[in-house]
Amino acid sequence: MNSLHVSNELSQLLEESNVHIQLSVPQLVEKILSRNEGKLTSTGAVSVSTGKYTGRSPQDKFIVMEESIKDKIDWSNLNQPISEDVFNNLYHKVLDYLKQKNEIFVFKGFAGADKKTQLPIQIVNEFAWHNLFAHQLFIRPSEEELLTHKAGFTVISAPNFKANPSVDGTKSETFIIISFEQRTILIGGTEYAGEMKKSIFSIMNYLLPENNIFSMHCSANIGVEGDVALFFGLSGTGKTTLSADPNRRLIGDDEHGWSSNGVFNIEGGCYAKTINLSREKEPQIFDAIRFGSVLENVMLNPETRIADYDDAILTENTRAAYPIQAIENIVQPSIAGHPNTIVFLTADAFGVLPPISKLTKEQAMYHFLSGYTSKLAGTERGVTSPEATFSTCFGAPFLPLPATRYADMLGEKILEHNAKVFLVNTGWTGGEYGVGSRMKLSYTRAMVQAALEGELNNVETVKDDIFGLNIPLHIAGVPDEVLQPGKTWSDPQAYEKKAKELAGKFRENFKKFTKVNSEIEEKGGPIA
């Protein structure tokens, strides 16, 4: 099946009378309510349930083994190959399935705020609420752009279509399959809308580096003096929370590119975790949830229809999708200059990494490649408590190319623009998970603010005996003893044992990077 055949077959589907193309937010909300796909909250947001899939399904994600890309992809259990025949057969079945639906929905838009490199995309949905999600998360076209819009990549999502593994060649009823040659992503068997978002991110992580643009799983904001900051980290480490700063304008909360001109947001919206959300702690996110926002798996009071963000009965991975314009203090268009400060966020379940430390270039490369954090409950199916994990470049599930490709680009950017890099632990202090406590958000905010304002560039530091990290001795608003993790543990020997255990995990994990310059490991890794 060639690309022309794919295009023609899809075009025939989109010409059907039951296809709704580019409905507005009010129209989509009306469709959702009429189809009983969700409920309206007291603020006008749409509350939906994603069924049994409340997180991503990484073991069900595949890339088609095609001639043009087979020697470029870093094939692994995260980038699993699947045959063209499997893709083609499922493609026919999914389109035939959608043709039988009374209604399907199409969104046309873009990925990438930089018009020089942005990718036109279209999202074809079985569910109206999924199309509303796409409308909120991706960049919306102007009326003029819509007239000439021609999709460079298409997502086809049919949650109620279940694969038969023994017949269809999948691992389960769920599948997320990317075909770079057919410029198509097939999604079936899961109602979790985040699969659409992360599939587009995955293809951008292939396409952008091919054009010499560093693609990044990070949030970004800009200060009043034009200083740009990046926040790298996996889900739940604080990217969205820390980048939504009332004193800085938001560029984007999750996905960016860094070109020769500066940084740009890949998306047009935000996908924030809402567990324990409150106006007091996160006012910008709380107030951004309004008419047309999508709330996933958030429980409502049946009488008042007020969202209960503390209720995790369905999952701790509760989410809100809203357009970036719902945040008052933003950059539009979502582009800015070159970053001055880079922050690596980690939620250390061992409770031994410093809450903030200054990184040398080699340490920055080492920790970027390591991507250490704790996988938090609910982010993926089957994860019910934090687990120590290493996710290369703080986004391994979404990186089709070898990790060194992204790390090399980061190293070049740090040198070229003299960016300052910090490692920030938003995880546990005073003991490991279950013993210690989560780092106070107020402390983290104070530390990050000091880093962004350049207050830590020339301060006195002490070198950590195990990880070799440079820890500031004093930061305004943070007790001195909190800055040095060993001093927060009641048992110093227990701390040292746990820290050396984690250091060993770092070394063991780094063995997989056989083609990395030895200097990065020697100067960037643990010293004890």
What was the pLDDT predicted at 465?
94
Among 283, 287, 444, residue whose Cα is nearest residue 354: 444
Sort strands 262-265 and 255-259 into parallel, antiparallel or unpaired: antiparallel
φ and ψ of 413, to 5 deg? -70, -40
Among 419, 119, 413, residue whose Cα is nearest residue 258: 413
Contact at 8 Å (CB) between 271 and 195? no
* 177 inside domain: yes
pLDDT tens per residue, range 61-107: 999 999 999 999 999 999 999 999 999 999 999 999 999 999 999 99
pLDDT tens per residue, range 213-227: 999 999 999 999 999
Q: Quick check: helix, strand or coil at residue 279? A: coil
- Based on the fold, state whether residues 227 and 131 are members of the same structural domain: no
What was the pLDDT predicted at 376?
54
* 115 inside domain: yes
Q: What is the CATH number of the domain that holds 446?
A: 3.90.228.20
Instruction: Calculate mean pLDDT across residues 297-320.
Output: 96
- Which among 31, 56, 130, 420 is annotated as catalytic? 56
pLDDT band at 2 (very low <50, low <70, confident <90, very high): low
User: 382: which residues sit within 8 A by CB, 6+ positions away?
Assistant: none
* 246 inside domain: yes
- Rounded distance, CA 422 to CA 175, Å? 37
- Based on the fold, state whether residues 453 and 502 are members of the same structural domain: yes
Element (H, E) at 241: helix 239-243
What was the pLDDT predicted at 401?
97
End-to-end CA distance of the chain: 56
- Rounded distance, CA 109 to CA 54, Å? 26
- Which among 217, 273, 375, 413 is annotated as catalytic? 217
What was the pLDDT predicted at 5?
55
- Based on the fold, state whether residues 30 and 111 are members of the same structural domain: yes
- Based on the fold, state whether residues 408 and 339 are members of the same structural domain: yes
Element (H, E) at 263: strand 262-265
* 312 inside domain: no
- Rounded distance, CA 187 to CA 53, Å? 13
Q: Does 239 participate in catalysis according to the annotation?
A: yes
Does residue 7 surpass a pLDDT of 80?
A: no
Contact at 8 Å (CB) between 391 and 371? yes
pLDDT tens per residue, range 160-216: 999 999 999 999 999 999 999 999 999 999 999 999 999 999 999 999 999 999 999
- Based on the fold, state whether residues 175 and 218 are members of the same structural domain: no
Q: Does 254 participate in catalysis according to the annotation?
A: yes
- Based on the fold, state whether residues 32 and 140 are members of the same structural domain: yes
Position 304, amino acid: T
pLDDT tens per residue, range 412-426: 999 999 999 999 999
Q: What is the CATH number of the domain that holds 155?
A: 3.40.449.10
Does residue 518 surpass a pLDDT of 90?
A: no
| Structural domain boundaries enclosing 461 | 214-270+333-524
- Which among 93, 135, 198, 381 is annotated as catalytic? 198
pLDDT tens per residue, range 343-354: 999 999 899 999
* 455 inside domain: yes
* Residue at token pair 């979790």: 192
Burial class of residue 435 in the structure, from the number of CB atoms within 10 Å of its CB (0-12 exposed, 13-18 middle, 19+ buried): middle
pLDDT band at 54 (very low <50, low <70, confident <90, very high): very high
Q: Does 249 participate in catalysis according to the annotation?
A: no
What was the pLDDT predicted at 514?
84
Sort strands 104-111 and 175-179 into parallel, antiparallel or unpaired: unpaired
Q: Does 235 participate in catalysis according to the annotation?
A: yes
pLDDT tens per residue, range 386-405: 667 899 999 999 999 999 99
Among 156, 191, 226, where does a domain finish? 191
Does residue 528 surpass a pLDDT of 80?
A: yes
Element (H, E) at 1: none
Among 373, 371, 369, 375, residue whose Cα is nearest residue 402: 369
- Based on the fold, state whether residues 122 and 226 are members of the same structural domain: no
What is the value of pTM for the model shown? 0.91
- Based on the fold, state whether residues 96 and 15 are members of the same structural domain: yes
Which of 192-206, 243-257, 339-353, 480-494 shows the lowest mean pLDDT across its residues? Answer: 243-257
- Rounded distance, CA 302 to CA 148, Å? 45
Which of 23-37, 107-121, 240-254 shows the lowest mean pLDDT across its residues? Answer: 240-254
- Based on the fold, state whether residues 176 and 219 are members of the same structural domain: no
pLDDT tens per residue, range 18-33: 999 999 999 999 999 9
Q: Does 101 participate in catalysis according to the annotation?
A: no
Query: In whole angstroms, what separates CA 224 from the centre of its chain?
Result: 26
Among 160, 191, 222, where does a domain finish? 191
- Which among 47, 184, 190, 235 is annotated as catalytic? 235
- Rounded distance, CA 155 to CA 122, Å? 6
- Which among 240, 241, 346, 374 is annotated as catalytic? 240
Q: Does 56 participate in catalysis according to the annotation?
A: yes
What was the pLDDT predicted at 33?
98
Instruction: Calculate mean pLDDT across residues 477-504.
Output: 95
| Structural tokens at position 215 | 């693609």
- Based on the fold, state whether residues 224 and 94 are members of the same structural domain: no
* 371 inside domain: yes
Does residue 382 surpass a pLDDT of 60?
A: no
Mean confidence (pLDDT) of the chain: 93
Contact at 8 Å (CB) between 131 and 109? no
- Rounded distance, CA 148 to CA 144, Å? 7
- Based on the fold, state whether residues 186 and 246 are members of the same structural domain: no
| Structural tokens at position 448 | 């990050």
Share of the chain above pLDDT 90, in %: 86
What was the pLDDT predicted at 11?
87
Contact at 8 Å (CB) between 308 and 298? yes
pLDDT tens per residue, range 197-208: 999 999 999 999
* 319 or 240, higher pLDDT: 319
Position 409, amino acid: M
What was the pLDDT predicted at 3?
54
Q: Quick check: helix, strand or coil at residue 200? A: helix
* 394 inside domain: yes
* 310 inside domain: no
Q: How many domains does the chain have?
A: 2
| Structural tokens at position 17 | 């009378």
pLDDT band at 517 (very low <50, low <70, confident <90, very high): confident
Among 130, 111, 113, 131, residue whose Cα is nearest residue 121: 111
- Which among 31, 61, 239, 375 is annotated as catalytic? 239
Residues paired with residue 349 on neighbouring β-strands, in sequence order: none
* Residue at token pair 């106070």: 440
Does residue 374 surpass a pLDDT of 90?
A: no
Element (H, E) at 215: strand 214-222
- Based on the fold, state whether residues 183 and 220 are members of the same structural domain: no
- Which among 31, 319, 381, 405 is annotated as catalytic? 319
